[in-house]
Structure 1
Amino acid sequence: MGIGRSALLAALLAGGAWAAHSAGLQRLTLAGEPPLQAMFWTPCAQPPAPLKRGPFEVMATEDCPVAASGKLPLVVISHGYAGSALSHWNMAAALADGGIAVLSLNHSLDSALNLAQGGSFAALEARPADVRRAIDGVLADRRWSAVLDAQRIGFLGFSRGAYTGLVLAGAKPDFAQLAGHCPEPQSPMCQAIAQGQIPALKPQPEPRIKAMVLADPLAAFGASSGLEKLKLPLQLWASEQGGEGVPAGAVQALAKWLPAGKSAKPTVQVVAGAAHFAFLAPCSAQLAAAAPEICSDPPGFERSAFQKRWAAEVLAFFRQQL
């Protein structure tokens, strides 16, 4: 008899039965043009140690042997605008500690490493191709293909990363939806939207992805996006206050277009009191000083407490779906 969802969630919140001990961490460079820089997280049987990576303070064990008796599911994490492979490091570590391998990548045209074309349609068009290339690269690497189950691949995206997930699920962007709340008003993309000069970007379905968690997706989808045709399981999250191209209530509006799944239409878990950046890992003192706009939360909101609950919910979802 399987463990019930509520009991599973309680165990995960307590850091109980599913935990390996910590997350192992490897740096990867994935071939292609340009090469993609990524972090690869796996279950580790050694205790974690604090690692300093730029402004991030990460708890993981570097180059730890994979602690697994069988092949692992894989989850790809896609960051938001100007984010990085470490923007959601605590989520990656929690999933790895719970028995899931995680590939978090730096997107080629709009990460903290390269923002030269960050405000362009080209950056958004490149994102799904980045994810596909990242999956190809890690599955082709003989070090990891032996421990990964290519039939159990999931995806987690935040903001532009959640936009990326919807395109990979088969949705067609409708950038006219961003008129009036485009996140970088002076960028070439937002200027073009204001002038009605909007390209028709196509869906880029990736059938290897079997389930998705999407948090505050960029509000670039509407009635013409084909959302009603999407078939894979989705877990949707929304900050109550929104921000950065995600108006309050936008995720709930998007969910109305989605089809019913095996039991019911996907629902949105609204994070009370949260603004858009609540889905980022809690900031180190160095990062908070350098980028207070992404590290500050509304009064009364505790990002660390929410992040622990979010990680447990996400792990439970991927365990069920993968």
Structure 2
Amino acid sequence: MLATVGAAAAPVGLAAVRWQDPARAAWGVDGPRPVAALLWYPAADGAAEQDWQVPPFEPLPVAVGAAPAPGRRPLVLLSHGTGGSAASLGWLARELAAAGYLVAALNHHGNTAAEPEARLEGFVAWWERPLDLRVAIDRLLADPDWGPRIDAGRIGVAGFSLGGLTALASAGAQPRWAAWSAACAAAPATPGCALPPEAVARWTWADVDALRRSEGFAPSLARADAELHDARVRAVFAIAPAMAAALAHAPLAVPVEIVVGEADDQVDLADLRAWDQVPSVSVERLPGVTHYAFLMGCGLRGRLFAAAICRDPPGVDRARLHADTAARARRFFDRELAPR
């Protein structure tokens, strides 16, 4: 039973899990691809929450390592944006967990601030991300501790920016490498065709072209048009999905809700209009909201030294935006992941 409005929310627990995918190689080192996640969940009564800090973001109250509250719960997987981390969407993960969900927030290998080194492969090979979600679902359902706590018929995905594309891909909005390449060759100034801000300080398009031709990248490139739809996913909530030009606007088998800011300069807002015509997809546009407003709120040091991701334009209240968006996501998942 999910928490209801007006009821006292359970304390939220936090645990780290780490798996490997032997079918795929890690970037730059020998061995299988790591698949890591933070699990947010309703903790048992009496669990003590303390501030959990991941600079430059504001702390969140969680009970690290606490025992989970009893019961089987719907599962929501969460995919971060380019160069981000599971922590960067902690505002959404915590609110869903407080409402009764088990939330598995991924750290996508090679493309996450949670690792000591970013890899160009991780920025380019977006098709590896939905495969991470698939592995996470497999491992969680098979886990002797977490598996019995999950209602396998009630699984959703949410994601921000490139994580939004990841979420849509898991619902059957198949990204196509060739289609994206052709679209960007015709209109290179389109948002989603340029290197993201997180990559331009490290690499150029010449580096990307060299990577595409490299022998070591070939196994991943061969998966670029692999089928990414996961039939276990029943609903998708996409926040400011990037690289929409890579997606086919085909009817989807599950309901999708998209939330995007009208002042977002990293999302192809014109392309998103095509989603208005797709059955089972709804798009909500928020006036004045920019791309990074959907990241965790920042402390003073973050606002001073990480202004690009921490400062919002006048009139945008990030805390209110997060509260409203988390409530919207909860209503969406409460409806679409309701017991059948």
Residues 77/21 of structure 1: CA separation in 2 closer, same or farther (3 Å cut): same
1:239 maps to which of 254, 261, 265: 261
Where does residue 274 of structure 1 map in the other structure?
Answer: 289
Distance 2:307 2:82 in 1: 16
Q: Which moved more, 1:90-99 or 1:200-209?
A: 200-209
1:27 maps to which of 4, 16, 36: 16
Distance 1:210 1:190 in 2: 40
1:227 paired to 2:249:
yes
Cα deviation 1:167-198 (Å, max 9, x = unaligned): 222223231444313241765669879xxx99
Q: Which moved more, 1:280-289 or 1:161-170?
A: 280-289
Equivalent residues in 2 for 1:230-309 (5 A)? Answer: 230-244=252-266, 246-251=267-272, 253-258=273-278, 260-261=279-280, 266-309=281-324
Residues 118/159 of structure 1: CA separation in 2 closer, same or farther (3 Å cut): farther
Equivalent residues in 2 for 1:54-73 (5 A)? Answer: 54-56=55-57, 57-68=59-70, 70-73=71-74
TM-superposed deviation, 1:234: 0.7
TM-superposed deviation, 1:257: 4.4
Q: Secondary structure at the match of 1:139?
A: helix
What is the percentage of aligned positions where both structures have the same residue? 32
Listed as ranges, the gaps of 5+ residues in structure 1 are 1-7
Q: Is the 8 A contact 1:42 1:101 kept in 2?
A: yes
Residues 190/310 of structure 1: CA separation in 2 closer, same or farther (3 Å cut): farther
Q: Is the 8 A contact 2:110 2:122 kept in 1?
A: no
Q: Is the 8 A contact 1:29 1:35 kept in 2?
A: yes
2:241 maps to which of 213, 217, 238: 217
TM-superposed deviation, 1:103: 0.2
Where does residue 79 of structure 2 map in the other structure?
Answer: 78
Q: TM-score, normalised by structure 2?
A: 0.79
Distance 1:231 1:219 in 2: 21
TM-superposed deviation, 1:101: 0.4
Q: Is the 8 A contact 2:79 2:164 kept in 1?
A: yes
Cα deviation 1:30-64 (Å, max 9, x = unaligned): 23322222100111233532122354422211112
Where does residue 43 of structure 1 map in the other structure?
Answer: 42
Residues 177/296 of structure 1: CA separation in 2 closer, same or farther (3 Å cut): farther
Listed as ranges, the gaps of 5+ residues in structure 2 are 22-31, 214-220
TM-superposed deviation, 1:271: 1.5
Residues 188/133 of structure 1: CA separation in 2 closer, same or farther (3 Å cut): farther
The two structures, once aligned, show a CA RMSD in angstroms of 2.7
TM-superposed deviation, 1:203: 3.9
Q: Is the 8 A contact 1:153 1:209 kept in 2?
A: yes
Structure 1 residue identity aligned to 2:189 = G
Q: Secondary structure at the match of 2:53?
A: strand
